[in-house]
């Protein structure tokens, strides 16, 4: 099959669409868990095989009502790690 200019256009269009979809699914998700000295222990915990649920309990010790409140319009907030991903590389 010979690729015509129109085929390339279609391919480019498809790519753009996929890119847009990927962007859309990024929205509604919070930022990644920062990789700083406060959150490093959590990264380590996950690496040593602690479950996600157990790790999420720890989030609440700092991100609670008192110390570091979540933004007002924060979505329902169980299971932090569904939305706030751990950075891939540690
Ligand atoms: C030891 C206390 C502590 C724990 C435990 C903790 N955090 Fe944090 N977190 C902070 C502090 C302080 C900040 C704000 C300063 C900063 O970015 O480090 C913060 C900031 C954040 C931010 C915003 C980062 C940004 O770029 O604005 C997210 C998202 C977050 N934490 C998610 C989590 C999640 C999810 C967990 C559990 C896996 C967690 N944190 C556990 C103290 C903590
Ligand atoms: C349903 C998805 C979802 C869940 C679950 C969730 N978050 Fe968020 N979180 C978000 C979004 C979206 C924002 C940005 C909201 C905004 O800008 O007002 C956010 C913002 C934050 C921020 C403020 C820093 C920033 O990104 O501006 C912190 C801290 C935070 N979340 C911590 C947590 C913790 C801790 C939990 C678990 C107790 C949690 N989140 C659960 C989606 C989620």
Query: Residue 42: is it exposed, middle or buried by C-beta count within 10 angstroms (0-12/13-18/19+)?
Result: buried
Closest Cα to atom 2 of ligand 2: 83
76 and 36 in a common domain = yes
Select the more confidently predicted residue: 77 or 42. 42
Is 25 in the same domain as 43?
no
Task: Establish whether residue 41 lines the binding site of ligand 2, counting it when its CB lies within 6 angstroms of any ligand atom.
Answer: no
Read off the pLDDT of residues 60-73 as tens digits, 9 standing for 90 and up: 888 876 678 888 78
**Does residue 15 sit in the same domain as residue 48?**
no
| CB-CB contact of 33 with 39 (8 Å) | yes
Do 79 and 30 touch, CB atoms closer than 8 A? Answer: no
Expressed as residue numbers, the domain containing 21 is 1-29
Pair 14, 42 in one domain: no
Task: Kindly state the tokens that stand for 42.
Answer: 């959590």
Query: Taking a C-beta distance cutoff of 8 angstroms, is the pair 75, 83 a contact?
Result: yes
Domain containing residue 39: CATH number = 1.10.1130.20
Give the pair of three-digit tokens for residue 45. Answer: 């915990």
Cβ contact 46:6 at 8 Å:
no
Pocket of ligand 1 (CB under 6 A): 30-31, 33-34, 36, 38-39, 42, 55, 58-59, 61-63, 68, 80-81, 84
Tell whether 40 and 69 lie within a shared domain: yes
Residues 39 and 52 in one domain: yes
pLDDT for 37 equals 93
Whether 61 and 77 map to the same domain: the answer is yes
């Amino acid at each position: 099959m010979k690729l015509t200019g129109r085929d390339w256009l279609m391919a480019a269009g498809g790519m753009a669409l996929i890119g847009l979809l990927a962007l859309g699914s990024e929205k509604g998700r919070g930022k990644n868990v920062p990789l700083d000295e406060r959150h490093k222990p959590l990264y380590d915990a996950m690496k040593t095989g602690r479950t996600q649920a157990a790790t999420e309990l720890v989030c609440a010790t700092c991100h609670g009502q008192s110390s570091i409140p979540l933004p007002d319009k924060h979505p329902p907030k169980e299971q932090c790690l569904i939305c706030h991903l751990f950075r891939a590389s540690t």
